[in-house]
Amino acid sequence: MKFLNILLIISLLFITAILAQGQSNAVIGIEIGNRAPEIVENSVNGHSLKLSSLKGKIVLIDFWASWCRPCRNENPFLVASYTKFKDSKFKGGSGFTVFSVSLDKDEIAWKNAIKKDMLSWDNHVCVLNSNALYIQDYNISMIPTNFLIDGNGVILATNLRGEELAQKLAALKQ
């Protein structure tokens, strides 16, 4: 009996190690199930901000711009979802936030849009040049485009519009 208990413990440790290794070796890409590519860019206050600094949270990576009418029309839905779910516990993460990536060329217009649309989360970055490698990594050819990732950076859904974001977040709640 003692031997079976030891064998069971060793088996469980082995399975846990395999699962952990599989999670860390997830393919980096933009398909559901891939680990989202890293984004490092300057924030509103000029400091470098990394997407990976939000590890542990459910994050919506939102590519947008102040001049993009469809993007601006989505912002009230983002604000509502952020307000409702920011402190929630989820399967795969604790808390929800938005990592806004603006494709603006005009820094003042970008900052004014954040204020006007009341985008109250802290994670705002702006490309200010279209040569950023992560724009290519995410294959951004039109905006708005978004990716919902779990606490490990794995993509759960893409291009959630309107109420779809709130519905998806509600389904992920514990």
pTM listed for this prediction: 0.85
Reference 102, options 48, 45, 61; nearest CA is 61
CATH topology of domain 29-172: Glutaredoxin (3.40.30)
Reference 150, options 97, 93, 98, 96; nearest CA is 93
What kind and span of H or E run contains 53?
none
Q: Which pLDDT score is estimated for 173?
A: 94
| Residue showing tokens 């279209």 | 130
Question: Where are the domains positioned within the chain?
Answer: 29-172
> Could you report the per-residue pLDDT of 62-117, keeping only the tens digit for each?
999 999 999 999 999 999 999 999 999 999 899 999 999 999 999 999 999 999 99
**Do the beta carbons of residue 144 and residue 63 sit within 8 Å?**
yes
Give the Cβ contact number of residue 40 at 10 Å. Answer: 14
